[in-house]
Amino acid sequence: EINISEQIQSLLHKYYWLINENELSLTYSLEDITVKGNPDLLYTVWENLLTNAIKYNEPGGSIEIKAEKTNNQLAIEFTDSGVGIKSNEQSQIFDRFYRGDSARTRTNQGTGLGLSIVKEVIELHEGNIYIYSQLEKGTTFKIIFPRL
Ligand code: ATP
Ligand code: MG
């Protein structure tokens, strides 16, 4: 059993300085959530989502992370107040090597592999990932695991 909340806490520890340096505010609320699977792969998922929330944000922006249990599922959400993703791009961002317009015109580097790995790892763990995004307003990635 992997404690997701602990993984996210140690991740926040690691990225604390970068979040500060980018003048972002961070809020989080993490209930104890555990999942069976591969800890390194799952850690990579949270790391990809957090680094995206940092990269595709603006100074003064915010990042919010939530982990919560309901009766039949576990939900983890990463929300940012960043550049957002056009609706016509939202279906492509999980494709290998796909980088959005905003990413390509920005100076930040990337391969476009992050989210394709995220999706694959989540599905290997019987989860699903959903995206809610509005251009220039921000983005939420929501991951749902069935509660066994
Ligand atoms: P890599 O993760 O390999 O360093 P990347 O960040 O460009 O590169 P992905 O993480 O797969 O690749 O993301 C694909 C594209 O989706 C990004 O290029 C960007 O356009 C868009 N994207 C991902 N996360 C966000 C976000 N939080 N806000 C806005 N756009 C995003
Ligand atoms: Mg990425």
Q: Is there an atom of ligand 1 within 6 Å of 112 CB?
A: yes
**Nearest-ligand number for the alpha carbon of 110:** 1
Atom of ligand 1 nearest to the CA of 83: 29
Q: What is the pTM of this model?
A: 0.96
Q: Are 88 and 75 in contact (CB under 8 A)?
A: no
Give the residue among 27, 140, 30 at the shortest CA–CA distance from 81: 140
Q: Which of 50, 51, 56 to mutate to test the pocket of ligand 1 (most atoms within 8 A of CB)?
A: 56
For the purposes of burial, counting CB atoms within 10 Å of the CB of 6, is it exposed (0-12), middle (13-18) or buried (19 or more)? Answer: middle
How confident is the chain (148 residues) per 10-residue block, as mean pLDDT? Answer: 97 97 98 97 98 96 97 97 94 93 72 96 98 96 93
* Cα of 42 from ligand 2 centre, angstroms: 15
> In whole numbers, what is the pLDDT of the chain averaged over residues?
95
